[in-house]
Amino acid sequence: MTETPSRDTVDRVTRRRYIAGAGAVATVAVAGCSDDPEVGEDDGAGDDDGAGDDGTGNGGDADEGDLEIVHWWTAGGEEEAYNALLDGFREQHPDVEIVDNPAPGGAGSAIDTVIQNRVLDQNPPSTFQIWPGQALTPYTDEGLLEDIGDSVWDDEMREAYLDDIVELSRPGGDLVAVPINIHRLNNLFYNVDVLESADVDATDIDDPQGLMDALQAVDENTDAVPMAHQTQAPWSTLQLFEAVFLGQQGTDDYLSLVDGDVEGLEDEVREALELLAEYADYYPEDAGSISWDQGNDRLIEGEAAFLHQGDWAAGQYEGADGFEFGEDWEMVPFPGTDGVYHSVIDSFVFPTNNPSPEATEQFLNYAGTVDAQERFNPIKGSIPPRTDVPNDEFGPFLTRQIEDFDNSNTQPPTIAHGTAVAPAVQSELEEAFANFNDNRNVDTAYEAIRDAF
Ligand code: GAL
């Protein structure tokens, strides 16, 4: 029997790939996302963390020295995870006044513009949620994030973190971010009963085209929506395009794509878009007006069969009463992507001109601890970027995800969640997929993707 590689071994083996993708594009223009925040997600009201909670991420209510945190974790179980993190922090720092300031909207669809304006205006919050990697570059290029290489990243922390994740935290050289989780994006979740009624075995679906056949079977044999996909905001379709492309072509071509070789991959890009246009027949009728977690609710209720989504969707299942992993819901890697751990990472940063330097440093220090990552990740549906967090709290699904990560051949970065491309490119791609959601026009989408890179 071969020995299972440790997370560190896997990490070293695949490091070159990861960095190749993460360093793909050097565009640095500051660009806001074009889409509106999705409705349906919690508006952030009702928490007990004090002021600042106007649901926009704008500042205003924090006093000097208060820890103002801007984030978008208000949907489907994410708020509980975030609150668990704050509870842990409060236990260690009871004197710090936390001003919770969410800007709801899946994949940060509402946060970019407001944060960029605030940071550029030198009126930043104490810290904010951001993907490490290319998403940081508009800030690091302008020197708007403090180097926390000494103050926060001590030797103990560096040793404990996966090397790749440390690298993503310093796109400009200095360490500027503290990653707190690793989500997997290439999941295909499903409702077990619905698939049984449809006579579909998800483990038999070998490639993205096979998923099309399964969607057809669900449509013919049940009343359920085959795929609980949302198109209100474009990021979910962009990430589905990534999954289809990865499933059809594999990681090497995917990394060439994020490196910008769209023309060299024209046929492959078109092939993915064509299948994506066919999937769209099987989305909910109201896909254009629901959020990702509202789509996921339908899977939980047995009204939908499949969902392609990051494993934040599993965080929502954990919070749903009587909806058990294995019995009621399951997940297979998106067809064709076995051995791939398509990673989405969240982190917190220390903006310059910080309103609460002491509290911010305390919070970032805490976010990098075992305690923080052990509280946050099991609820969030993610796995820790530290290698020394005990597995006990992670439950069967996330324990399997940890094993899958350890055994994965590659962990490519994502476009839709900011690690692989700079915000300006991501923003143009989102616009391309917003249009594609409307018109399913492969030619126009191909040209827009080519131009975006
Ligand atoms: C991602 C983020 C996740 C989750 C998801 C859905 O971009 O990294 O933590 O919040 O969006 O909104």
Which residue has a Cα nearest atom 9 of ligand 1? Answer: 346
Measured distance CA(24)–CA(137) in Å, rounded: 12
* More reliable by pLDDT, 1 or 198: 198
Instruction: Give the model confidence (pLDDT) of 289-318 as tens digits.
Output: 999 999 999 999 999 999 999 999 999 999
User: Ligand 1, closest atom to CA 78?
Assistant: 10
Delimit the domains of the chain by residue range: 9-23+32-184+354-404, 187-340+422-452
**Tokens 């069967």 map to which residue?**
396
Centre of ligand 1 to C-alpha 312, Å, is 7
CB 190 within 8 A of CB 329: yes
User: Ligand 1, closest atom to CA 73?
Assistant: 10
150 Cβ contact partners less than 8 Å away, ≥ 6 residues apart: none
Tell me the CATH number for domain 9-23+32-184+354-404: 3.40.190.10
Centre of ligand 1 to C-alpha 414, Å, is 12
Ligand 1 close to Cβ of residue 417 (< 6 A):
yes
CB 25 within 8 A of CB 421: yes
Instruction: Give the model confidence (pLDDT) of 4-15 as tens digits.
Output: 333 433 333 232
User: Ligand 1, closest atom to CA 131?
Assistant: 8
Of 26-40, 98-112, 243-257, minimum mean pLDDT range: 26-40
CA-derived radius of gyration, the chain: 21
Instruction: Give the model confidence (pLDDT) of 335-345 as tens digits.
Output: 999 999 999 99
User: 9-23+32-184+354-404 and 187-340+422-452: same fold?
Assistant: yes
Helix (H) or strand (E) holding 177: strand 177-184
The pLDDT-based confidence of 162 (bands split at 50, 70, 90) is very high
- In the sheet where 343-349 sits, what is the strand order? 98-102, 67-71, 127-130, 343-349, 177-184
Q: How confident is the model at residue 273, as a pLDDT?
A: 98
User: Ligand 1, closest atom to CA 382?
Assistant: 9
Q: How much of the chain, in percent, has pLDDT values that exceed 70?
A: 87
Measured distance CA(398)–CA(393) in Å, rounded: 9
Which residue has a Cα nearest atom 11 of ligand 1? Answer: 107
Please compute the mean of the pLDDT values over residues 250-275 and round it to a whole number: 98
DSSP string across 349-360: E-BSS-S-HHHH
pTM of the model: 0.89
Measured distance CA(159)–CA(142) in Å, rounded: 29
Q: How confident is the model at residue 60, as a pLDDT?
A: 62
Of 109-113, 159-163, 273-277, 317-321, minimum mean pLDDT range: 109-113
CB 114 within 8 A of CB 108: no
Measured distance CA(205)–CA(200) in Å, rounded: 9
Q: Which of 417, 421, 430 to mutate to test the pocket of ligand 1 (most atoms within 8 A of CB)?
A: 417
In this predicted structure, the answer to whether residue 34 has a pLDDT above a threshold of 50 is: no
User: Ligand 1, closest atom to CA 72?
Assistant: 10
Of 8-22, 240-254, 268-282, 302-316, minimum mean pLDDT range: 8-22
- Number of neighbours of residue 95 by Cβ within 10 angstroms: 7
Q: C-alpha 196: how far from its chain's center?
A: 30
SS3 call for 344:
strand
User: Ligand 1, closest atom to CA 380?
Assistant: 9
Which residue has a Cα nearest atom 1 of ligand 1? Answer: 107
Q: Which of 41, 296, 346 to mutate to test the pocket of ligand 1 (most atoms within 8 A of CB)?
A: 346
Please compute the mean of the pLDDT values over residues 58-80 and round it to a whole number: 88
187-340+422-452: what fold? D-Maltodextrin-Binding Protein; domain 2 (3.40.190)
In this predicted structure, the answer to whether residue 274 has a pLDDT above a threshold of 50 is: yes
In this predicted structure, the answer to whether residue 44 has a pLDDT above a threshold of 60 is: no
Q: How confident is the model at residue 249, as a pLDDT?
A: 98
In this predicted structure, the answer to whether residue 450 has a pLDDT above a threshold of 50 is: yes
Q: How confident is the model at residue 8, as a pLDDT?
A: 38
Render the burial of 99-108: b for 16+ CB within 10 Å, e for the rest: bbbbbbbbbb
Centre of ligand 1 to C-alpha 310, Å, is 8
Q: What is the DSSP letter of 286?
A: T
How far from 198 is each of 154, 160, 202, 257, CA to CA, in Å? 53, 45, 11, 36
Ligand 1 close to Cβ of residue 70 (< 6 A):
no
List the alpha helices (DSSP H) in 34-107. 78-92
The pLDDT-based confidence of 109 (bands split at 50, 70, 90) is confident
Nearest alpha carbon to residue 212 among 244, 237, 238, 189: 244
Average pLDDT in the chain = 89
Centre of ligand 1 to C-alpha 399, Å, is 20
In this predicted structure, the answer to whether residue 59 has a pLDDT above a threshold of 80 is: no
Centre of ligand 1 to C-alpha 108, Å, is 7
Centre of ligand 1 to C-alpha 287, Å, is 19
In this predicted structure, the answer to whether residue 45 has a pLDDT above a threshold of 50 is: no
Q: What is the DSSP letter of 386?
A: B
SS3 call for 100:
strand
Instruction: Give the model confidence (pLDDT) of 369-413 as tens digits.
Output: 999 999 999 999 999 999 999 999 999 999 999 999 999 999 999
Looking from the CA of 99 toward its CB, the CA atoms found within 13 Å total: 24
